[in-house]
Amino acid sequence: MVIHNADRRMQVYGALLLLPAAVLLGTFAYLPTVATLVNSLFLPGFRGEPPAFVGLENYAMLVEDRTFWRVARNNLIYALGTIPTSIALALGMALFVNARLPGRGLVRMAYFTPTILPMIAAANVWMFFYAPQIGLFNKLLGALGFSGVNWLGDPGVALGSVIVMTVWKEAGFFMIFYLAALQSIPPELKEASDLEGTSRWSFFWRVTFPLLMPTTLFVLINALINAVRVVDHLFILTKGGPNNATNLLLYYVYENAFSFFDRSYAATITVVILLVLAVVATLKFTVLDRRTHYQ
């Protein structure tokens, strides 16, 4: 019985230790998630009337909303544009700075520095590059005799411009994970393959790349999350324009909630984001956690 009592005490004590975190998580993660789901089923009251339960009407509106589909498609393109490129670049960078290289420290610093800048600051700087008449890119193109591109004002190009900036910002962050993984690969493997005369190309594809697989998965998850979570640069670069060509889901939520005062519709779009994140989470917990190590 004594032991049992001690156990009880431990349990209570443990619960008390958890309490602050539980209260905060409840308030700022679970409660708002549930509230989002609930609110997506209501319409706001018209001129002071109470909100009305409308079932799935907001979702029906969403399905009919051309802007929503455009934004969703943009987000998909944005993910497809940023993720593979920044992962490939990150891997390349890691291979570069893992090799003997004059000025390696400087090179690594150059790759990594964009990571620690705020997205807002990065967007400010890239704004100077992209400005159509007086921006740096078009001045350079002009000097080479080409006509300028309207980087952020042409719907065919604008999303690409946003993607390029994002890749620049993210690649260095992912690099460090690859770098760590590369350094944990035993050098003996390389020696052995050199003795066998394996080309570096096939060594990379047959040995290095498979060994980096867990890192790649891990980086992939992070990149996926960032693709829905980070929209700060849109506030500076495009505000989602022209004609929603660069609008992303979370920015669309912001617009609906805070520019159009339509919180119900914002909640409905948020539910879509939550669904996407749920898929990513499932991917992580099922695929990644089986295979990878936590530092």
Partner 1 sequence: MNQAISTHRGRLALRAPSLETTAAWLLAIVWIFPLLYAIWAAFHPPAFMVRFDLFAPLTLDNFANAWAQAPFARYYLNTFLLVTGVVLAQFVVCTLAGFAFARFPIPGKDILFMLVLIQLFVFPEVLIVENYRIASGLGLVDTITGIGLPYVASAFGIFLLRQTFKTIPRELEEAARVEGCGWMAILLKVYVPLARPTYLAYGLVSISHHWNNFLWPLVVTNSVESRPLTVGLGIFSAPETGVNWATVSAATLLSIAPLLVAFLLFQRQFVQSFLRAGIR
Partner 2 sequence: MNARFSLVKGGLARGRRLGAATLGGLLAAGALNAQAQTELTLYYPVAVGGALTEVIDDLVAEFENEHPDISVEAIYAGNYDDTRVRAMSAIEAGEAPQLSVLFSIDLFDLLEQDAIVSFDSVIESDEEREWLDSFYPGLMENGQIDGQTYGIPFQRSTIVLYWNKDAFEAAGLDPETPPETWEEMAQMGAAVREASGGEQWGVMVPSTGYPYWMFQAFAFQNGHRLMNEAGTEVYFDDPAAIEALEYWVSLADEHEAMPDGTIEWGTLRQDFIEGATAMMWHTTGNLTAVRNEADFDFGVAMLPMKEQRGSPTGGGNFYLFKDSSEEEQRAAVTFIRWMTDPERAAAWSIETGYMGVSPAAYETEALRDYVEEFPPAAVARDQLEHGTAELATYQGGRVRRALDNAVQAALTGEMSAEEALKQAQAEADAALRRYARSR
The one of partner 1, partner 2, none whose footprint includes residue 2, by CB under 5 to 8 A per kind, is none
Query: At residue 122, what are phi and psi to the nearest 5 degrees?
Result: -60, -45
Q: Would you count residue 71 as binding partner 2 (CB under 8 A)?
A: no
User: Cα–Cα distance between 135 and 113 in angstroms, integer?
Assistant: 23
Q: Would you count residue 132 as binding partner 2 (CB under 8 A)?
A: yes
Cβ atoms of 104 and 97 closer than 8 Å: yes
Q: Would you count residue 266 as binding partner 1 (CB under 8 A)?
A: yes
Smallest gap from residue 281 Cβ to partner 1 (A): 5
User: Cα–Cα distance between 191 and 199 in angstroms, integer?
Assistant: 12
71-90 residues near partner 1, rule: CB under 8 A: 89
User: Cα–Cα distance between 188 and 143 in angstroms, integer?
Assistant: 51
Query: How many Cβ atoms sit within 10 Å of the Cβ of residue 199?
Result: 10
For residues 10, 289, 166, 171, the Cα torsion angle rounded to the nearest 10 degrees is 110
The one of partner 1, partner 2, none whose footprint includes residue 268, by CB under 5 to 8 A per kind, is none
Collect all residues with Cβ–Cβ distance below 8 Å to 203 and sequence separation of at least 6. Answer: 190, 193
- For partner 1, which is the closer residue by CB, 212 or 253? 253
The one of partner 2, partner 1, none whose footprint includes residue 136, by CB under 5 to 8 A per kind, is partner 1
Q: Would you count residue 198 as binding partner 1 (CB under 8 A)?
A: no
Say whether 53 sits in a helix, a strand or coil: strand
114-153 residues near partner 1, rule: CB under 8 A: 114-122, 124-129, 134-136, 139
58 exposure class (CB count in 10 Å sphere: 0-12, 13-18, 19+): buried
DSSP character at residue 118: -
The one of partner 2, partner 1, none whose footprint includes residue 47, by CB under 5 to 8 A per kind, is partner 2
Smallest gap from residue 52 Cβ to partner 1 (A): 18
Query: Which of 20, 48, 55, 102 touches partner 2 (CB under 8 A)?
Result: 48
Peptide bond into 187 cis (omega under 30): no
- For partner 2, which is the closer residue by CB, 69 or 209? 69
Query: Which of 21, 99, 116, 133 touches partner 2 (CB under 8 A)?
Result: 133
Residue 145 backbone class (left: φ over 0; alpha: ψ -120 to 50; beta: rest): left
Q: How many residues bind partner 1 (CB under 8 A)?
A: 100
Say whether 152 sits in a helix, a strand or coil: coil
Query: Which of 3, 20, 147, 197 touches partner 2 (CB under 8 A)?
Result: 147
Q: Footprint of partner 2 on this chain (CB under 8 A)? A: 46-48, 67, 131-134, 147-148, 150, 152-156, 238-239, 241-245, 255, 258-262
